[in-house]
Structure 1
Amino acid sequence: MGDWVVIADYYSDVHRTEFIRRGLETREQALEALREALHTYTPSKKIIEKRRQVYRFPDQETYLVVITGKLTEWECTLRIAELISDS
């Protein structure tokens, strides 16, 4: 059994990685949580969403989410990862 997570990578003054979901037991659970987050995840910045575009990368485990707001456009990459070491 692994320890799977769903993460968001984005740039906001500096590169940031945010854990969306932690403690998922299987890859399948992580993929399901990832698919749910594609349409519900919002950045910590206050953005009034007018449009959301979701692009899937060929590996089927990574997505680019582009949110167009009233004044700005915001991009993040959502993906899954498995914890393989914790010392």
Structure 2
Amino acid sequence: MGNWVVIAEYYSDTYRTEFICCGKETKGQALDELRAALHTFLPSKSIMEKRRQVYRYADRESYLVVIKGKLSEWKCTLRIAELVSDSTDPLVAERVRLEEVGAEETGGPQDRVPPGW
């Protein structure tokens, strides 16, 4: 089972999070699914789409979708997320921890501020 998902976050009477696509093995696969959903995803409420605008955030992994309907406007953020912990499968957290240790050893991204900053 993959650790990557595509999610939609929006407000419709209450704040909602929908899983569009689950179980992708790689981040690249999740990004492909995200980009495919940008022009097709519709909220669980009915809307008569007249115009769709898609904005890309600076991280290049999140998008704002604005759908203008006949009477209303709807906004949604589409993004990818990685599963890093699962209480029914502790191996998920261990696998993520090992990947992070490997990234530090190879000079990958660092989450802490280096000394001297």
Range into which the TM-score falls when normalised by the shorter chain: over 0.9
Report the equivalent of 1:69: 69
Question: Which residue type is aligned with residue 52 of structure 2?
Answer: R
Which segments of 5 or more consecutive residues in structure 1 lack a partner in the other structure? none
Which segments of 5 or more consecutive residues in structure 2 lack a partner in the other structure? 88-117
Moved over 4 A (4+): none
- Structure that is richer in strand per residue: 1
Q: TM-score, normalised by structure 1?
A: 0.97
How many residue pairs get aligned? The number is 87
The equivalences for 1:1-87 within 5 A come to: 2-87=2-87
Q: Give the deviation of 1:2 after TM superposition.
A: 4.9
Identity %: 72
For residues 15-64 of structure 1, what are the alpha-carbon distances to aligned partners after superposition, in whole Å with 9 as ceiling and x for unaligned?
Answer: 11000000001000000000000001011111010000000000000000
Distance (whole Å) between structure 1 residues aligned to residue 15 and residue 59 of structure 2? 23
Give the aligned CA root-mean-square deviation in angstroms.
Answer: 1.1
Distance (whole Å) between structure 1 residues aligned to residue 11 and residue 47 of structure 2? 15
Distance (whole Å) between structure 1 residues aligned to residue 43 and residue 14 of structure 2? 14
Distance (whole Å) between structure 1 residues aligned to residue 4 and residue 73 of structure 2? 29
Structure with greater contact order relative to length (CA < 8 Å, sep ≥ 6):
1
Q: Give the deviation of 1:13 after TM superposition.
A: 1.1
Where 1:60 maps in the other structure, the secondary structure is coil
Rg comparison, structure with higher value = 2
